[in-house]
Structure 1
Amino acid sequence: MLPSQNGWVLVDVETTGLNARRDRVLSVAAIAVDRNGRPEAEYSSFFNPGCDPGPVHIHRLTPERLSVAPTFDAAIPDLRELVAGRTLVAHNASFDHGFLACEAQRAGTTLPITHRLCTVTLTRRLQLDVPNAKLDTLARYWRIPQHNAHDAVDDVRVLLEVFRRSLDLAHRLGLPLPVVPCGATARAYPDNITRVPCPWTDPGRYDPHVGLIQGTKVTITGDTKLPRRELARRLADAGLDVMNGISGKTGLLVANSGAPDSRKLQTARNKGIPIVDEDTALRLADRVLPGTLKSVEVVEVLPRPATTLVPKRSAAKPWSGRRVLVLGGSHTDASSVRSRIAQLGAVPAINFTAGVTHVLVLDGGHSDRRLQKAHDRQIPILEMHHLDTVTDENTKVADESTASEASAPLLPSPTVLTPGAVIDLPSGIIEFTVNVAWSSEQTTTEFDVDVVAFELDRDMRVPSDDEFVFYNQPESLDGAVKLRIDGDREQGIAIDLSVVGEDIDRIMVGAAIDGATFGDIGALSVTVDTTEFTFATAVFDAATTEKSMIITEVYRRNGVWRLRALGQGYDDELAEFAVRHGVDVDD
């Protein structure tokens, strides 16, 4: 299960904000443990960020308290020794790793972190009976004392105990750990840059008689002398709004002589957008004219309601509350059975987890190693005749297991969606995550699954490439859609409807696979989750030769946001899948 033999390093950071490229680290606490979880070394320190410390009411790190602390670069030697050869473990590991990597980059170096494990993802994989995966919730579940929440030292101590218990349960269930590589991706399709919010208003197109003005929207195409991301950073630092896509609002296109005749170049010529080479763009950026700051939007913050939002439960069905794992059978048979299970109100499971309440065995399933684990955990074992005996909603199925029906814990009942099904989003829900997972039993590593999202207008096209969210552009410009990559067998798209632009009609979540087909990896499990509960779930496993799939869409209808489960497959690879939805992909 381990990418190395040197164990783990558990880390917690407190920061001035949420953006690793813009915000700073205020404190770090770390505990290095061996492969069996025994502590070997510890480190903790505060840091002077040289700026406002941000939400003091959360982390309690005041400017006075930090004024005598060292800067982050002083921690590099200790952290380098601590993390070398170990797998980083954190609660929301992409967040902590991202901040450590950015701080090291500011110090002109890197930290030798090659793999990470997210305990949020591990909790989801285990399917613990908890309302959410917050650290304090897990501390209560595992009965771990928590003395000082949002203090890095106490948080990493609690994290270590959560990790130890989770590690033990994963071992007993036979679940592989969600360890992922965290170096720079070798894939570069397309070589997009992460958008940095520009504080200047758009002055329109570049006029060579006036000069380049801060806020001008700039797009880059073709090969560049500087690495594209470095060129983009230099232009953004000058106050320009560097975009990935091109549209009628683009004020300048940067293209060196000999650049291939890409769609961006064609669009620029057709729309009369000025084109300059890289050297000219940098010279213009060095003497950029001051722009006009955007006005600050005043947002009224309403108090939270006193009552906790709960999902609207679907009508009771014979198997409501069950999470059923199907073992054995052909692809077609297993797919048909999972569909029948969902119609009965149960949640089809694709992994043997702590949340599985029943196991249904098809032909060949008796040789599956997970069956013995189900017996060991006294989980009821079903066979096909149990499905056949369910004739109406009042029929109860008697389990022929030695365990009683009462021994299986009942779960909250999210709405189980079949392909094409539509529901209104629960009242008051504006932030949620569409999480997609596939079987951890899949052992081949010769493919990559990419969960992606498109913000689409009424013509079902992205207004620009900046509304396409994928591994090289993990957040949309408006911040409404963000990619969460936390595990080797799961990815998620976080959606915040409160900041979706009026020109966006729907948000489509999809996936593409490189090196295989969806028929090769089996069923996809989809859950739609708030921070407190899951309100919808679906399983899609009808795909065979398809290489891309539309999973769900969230769309407006008469002022109400709705969620539709789709599971519609295409033979397109990622590039063609993106172009299908209006993304401009350079050759």
Structure 2
Amino acid sequence: MIDTRAHANGPATLPRGHRWVVVDVETSGLRPNAHRVLSVAALVLREDGSVEREFSTLVNADCDPGPVHIHNLTRERLAGAPRFTDIAGELADILDGGTLVAHNASFDYGFLDAEFRRSGRSIPADQRLCTLALSRRLELDVPNFKLATLAQHWQVQQLQAHDAYDDARVLSEVFVRSATLAENLQLPLPVVNCRGRKSVYPDSVQRVPCQWKNPGRLTEAGLVQGMKVVISGATTTPRLTLAGRMTEAGLDVLDSASRQTSVVVCNDLDIQTAKVRKAMAEGTPIITEQQLEALLERVAPGEPKVATVIDIVPQQETPVTTATPAPEPPNWALQGKKPKLWSGRRVLLLGGTHLEAVLMRSRIAQLGARPSLNFTAAVTDALLLDGADADKRLSRVHDRQLPVLTPDDVNAAIETGVVPPHMRTESRLTAPVLSHGEVIDLPAKTTQWSVNIAWKAEAVGNEFDVDIVAFLLDSNERVDTDDDFVFYNNPTYDDGAVELTMDGSSEQSVRIDLASIPDECERIALAAAIDGDRTFGDLGAVSISIDSEAGTAATAVLDAGTTERTMVLTEIYRRSGKWRLRAVGQGYDDDLAALAVRYGVNVEDND
């Protein structure tokens, strides 16, 4: 395994062609369209990693500051701070032409984008880099990828967690060290374009998270905040305007009808749209726009989803502390996960045909090792197949003095249960590596997971356009509504119960809060689709890991694809009161639209 810090302690030289701007924000909540930025810091870095220009300020958003116990930003502290409109010009000047660097970059970018739009501007950053995605790509030897954990790994002193300026300072040092290691490994950085994301479906009503529980279907008593409302067909008032009025009244406006829909608004039932047919089948009330207008005059208060956050004013200044020690990784031996012969090793394959590589990866996984798709910090050994001499990474294998394996070593280990004498003896106790069809139970006490999916870092750019999607399925393995299809045009389901993040050029993540998944959802299927004519045979292996703050529960490498353009990678499903994870790897030759239809998504319904 590579000593990551040893190769990052020399002179730093950040990759050219970018104006790197490290950013951190503290916010009143988690949703950019409902919550506000309370503090922002931005550091412009020189090529050697030093700070060329810095900006930091509190922001008075005149709102409930939310989790004060985390960021210590009370109404009193924010009262004299400038509004975002007052700082927008200076912050735009700092970000202009820069590549925004942040930890969980889609979060920071999303909040800044929303604030700039409120002030009548556009955020001037066209590219961003997520240090979370970068750390995963490097496969650092850490139990999780929290900023505090990475700071401890890189020996960066953290003075005040959740302070925007100190977090940006710590992150800048983490980024410089990580970028230096990536350069040393010749791994491309996961820079993504913030704009120009493709759109398959026509413009629709944008889902605004509702803060009230769904009280059920419309009755003679009238509308209640939290009711789920769907518009179908033509309306006298522009649809987006009508949706905005309902949202302001506290209603939950969606694009698709389901069993949970409270009422459908339709002026002409003769059209028989898919939404109307669904409502009729489910017995959902259907009203006209005129009836809706009358009901909107009085909307009864709803039941909040969460309790109101109370400001807690700290009695004294937060003491200066160093980073909190990272939690210990799970001990899989105590959970019945007996380590296999090669557990804890990461083996990089070089050379070979597609079929030879598929066979060897399968055997490596059978031995308990994890096949590595890239030359990362975690690689412990290299397996050389025919043609490996032509792989540019071979010289780096020799430079690192990594043990070199042959197919005979793998076959002997399978047949006789031996470890080659030239293989490194040290290995980490790691999560199990699942083969096709293998299943594990997820720990019951952990409900928040991140399913991280990656492929070879060199397979990026215009050659491959890979999309990760999720389907929330009922007992019939069908979606109940099109909103149960999470993809690039619908990246968030139900206030973040399932959320897609795309902060890597060869990796994407699906975050899942199992405690917030509705009871009618029996299964969550995660899949990948390649746009265009390329196939999974061209792309190669796909790596999956399911992580929580406590560590990684399981990993899998799926690479049996040949002509397939879509592939179901993994499923998380209920069984006997538990959530389980299965490695699937089922491929199909058709495209994403066909896969969505197979799960019951109404792709062509534009009503």
Tell me the TM-score normalised to structure 2 length.
0.86
Residue from 224, 227, 250 that aligns with 1:239: 250
Query: For 2:416 and 2:341, how far apart are their aligned partners in 1?
Result: 5
Q: Which amino acid aligns with 2:340?
A: K
Q: CA 1:316/1:200 → structure 2, altered by over 3 Å: closer, same or farther?
A: closer
SS state at 2:413 partner: coil
Corresponding position of 1:185: 197
Q: Which amino acid aligns with 2:592?
A: L
SS state at 2:137 partner: helix
Corresponding position of 1:288: 297
Query: For 1:228 and 1:34, how far apart are their aligned partners in 2?
Result: 48
Q: CA deviation at 1:428?
A: 2.4
Deviations 1:270-292 (A, max 9, x none): 65753656xx699568x432224
Gaps of 5+ in 1: 300-306
Corresponding position of 1:420: 437
Q: Which runs of structure 2 are paired with 1:438-457 in the superposition (5 Å)? A: 438-457=455-474
Query: For 2:49 and 2:67, how far apart are their aligned partners in 1?
Result: 33
Corresponding position of 1:123: 135
Equivalent residues of 1:268, 1:275 under 8 A apart: no
Corresponding position of 2:376: 353
Higher relative contact order (CA 8 A, sep 6+): 2
Q: Which amino acid aligns with 1:78?
A: E
Q: CA deviation at 1:380?
A: 1.1
Corresponding position of 2:344: 321
Residue from 252, 257, 261 that aligns with 1:250: 261
Q: What value does the CA root-mean-square deviation take over the aligned residues?
A: 3.0
Residue from 219, 222, 232 that aligns with 2:230: 219
Corresponding position of 2:98: 86
Q: CA deviation at 1:244?
A: 2.4
Residue from 54, 57, 79 that aligns with 2:66: 54
Residue identity (%): 48
Q: CA deviation at 1:430?
A: 2.0
Equivalent residues of 2:571, 2:583 under 8 A apart: yes
Q: CA deviation at 1:478?
A: 6.2
* 1:377 pairs with 2:400: yes
Deviations 1:72-102 (A, max 9, x none): 1111001110011110000110110011011
Query: For 1:295 and 1:197, how far apart are their aligned partners in 2?
Result: 9
Deviations 1:486-544 (A, max 9, x none): 21111111122222222221222122221132222111001111123112111111112
Q: CA deviation at 1:436?
A: 0.7
Q: Which runs of structure 2 are paired with 1:3-18 in the superposition (5 Å)? A: 5-18=17-30
Query: For 2:601 and 2:494, how far apart are their aligned partners in 1?
Result: 15
Corresponding position of 2:330: 310
Query: For 2:367 and 2:148, how far apart are their aligned partners in 1?
Result: 35
Corresponding position of 1:470: 487
Query: For 1:261 and 1:470, how far apart are their aligned partners in 2?
Result: 27
* 1:102 pairs with 2:119: no
Corresponding position of 1:263: 274
Q: Which amino acid aligns with 1:581?
A: Y
Corresponding position of 2:555: 537
* 1:434 pairs with 2:451: yes
Corresponding position of 1:133: 145
Corresponding position of 2:320: none
Query: For 2:270 and 2:186, how far apart are their aligned partners in 1?
Result: 52
* 1:500 pairs with 2:525: no
Q: Which amino acid aligns with 2:83?
A: T
Query: For 1:412 and 1:102, how far apart are their aligned partners in 2?
Result: 43
Deviations 1:93-140 (A, max 9, x none): 011001101111121221111111000110000011111111111111
Query: For 2:178 and 2:291, how far apart are their aligned partners in 1?
Result: 52
Q: CA deviation at 1:339?
A: 0.2
Equivalent residues of 1:206, 1:252 under 8 A apart: no
Gaps of 5+ in 2: 1-12, 309-326
Q: CA deviation at 1:257?
A: 8.2
Larger mean CA deviation between 500-509 and 527-536 belongs to 500-509
Query: For 1:33 and 1:234, how far apart are their aligned partners in 2?
Result: 44
Corresponding position of 2:3: none
Tell me how many residue pairs correspond in the alignment. Answer: 569
Q: Which amino acid aligns with 1:263?
A: A
Larger mean CA deviation between 133-142 and 2-11 belongs to 2-11
Tell me the TM-score normalised to structure 1 length.
0.89
Q: Which amino acid aligns with 1:413?
A: T
Q: Which amino acid aligns with 1:386?
A: D
Q: Which runs of structure 2 are paired with 1:399-410 in the superposition (5 Å)? A: 399=422, 405-406=424-425, 410=427
Corresponding position of 2:571: 553
Query: For 1:227 and 1:290, how far apart are their aligned partners in 2?
Result: 21
Q: CA deviation at 1:448?
A: 2.5
Query: For 1:461 and 1:548, how far apart are their aligned partners in 2?
Result: 17
Larger mean CA deviation between 521-530 and 379-388 belongs to 379-388
Corresponding position of 1:302: none
Corresponding position of 1:197: 210
